[in-house]
Amino acid sequence: MNILLIGFMGSGKSTVAKRLSQLMHLSCIEMDDLVYQKTNTRNMSEVFALGGELLLRETEIAIAKEVASKDHLILSAGGGVVLNKIILDYFKIKGGKVIFLNARFETIVERIGKEDSRPLFKQIDVAKKLYDFRLPLYLNYADEVIDVDSLSADEVARTIKNLCG
């Protein structure tokens, strides 16, 4: 079985994926890292400069096609993965579990503020609109929802292991 972690940027997907990988002895794949490899970039700002959000979403679809054939892994998805239903469909074909790490917007602001490496978080009001738009999509696609505001990454990983293990 595969586990796909979804959630808004700053919800803890990458950190939880690493901890969960250790707990469950599964391979961990960071979707953003694969995007950088495929686009020959170093960060999301470079991806957006090279081809905008369209390049990012097309690359994520290509990655989903590749990953769909694999098994026993944890995938930390980019925050906008829910904008492409096809990506989630590829993932669920083999019975993958989609886990939504649900963080309140205020928690996300505390965690990431105005990091330069997050092009979609440069303006807080725009990021809030994006968060509000994506929230129902995360909830719709999730097999399980974990409220992460008051949990450590280790606690979230243990919760997922109990749900999926």
Residue in 35, 60, 46 with CA at minimum distance from that of residue 118: 46
User: pLDDT tens digits, residue range 131-160?
Assistant: 999 999 999 999 999 999 999 999 999 999
DSSP string of 53-115?
Answer: HHHHHHHHHHHHHHHTT--SEEEE--TTGGG-HHHHHHHHHTT-EEEEEE--HHHHHHHHTT-
Element (H, E) at 68: none
Predicted confidence (pLDDT) at residue 105 exceeds the cutoff of 80: yes
Question: The tokens of 113 are what?
Answer: 């503020």
Give the torsion sign (CA, 90, 99, 53, 42): negative
Residue in 27, 30, 26 with CA at minimum distance from that of residue 12: 30
Neighbouring C-beta atoms of residue 113, cutoff 10 Å? 11
Q: Taking all residues of the chain, what is their mean pLDDT, rounded to a whole number? A: 90
**Do the beta carbons of residue 97 and residue 88 sit within 8 Å?**
no
pTM (two decimals): 0.90
DSSP state of 42: S
Instruction: Return the SS3 of 2.
Output: coil
Q: How confident is the model at residue 118 (pLDDT cuts 50, 70, 90)?
A: low
What is the residue extent of each domain of the chain? 3-164
Pick the CATH number of 3-164 from 3.60.15.10, 3.40.50.1820, 3.40.50.1970, 3.40.50.300: 3.40.50.300
* Higher-confidence position of 35 and 44: 35
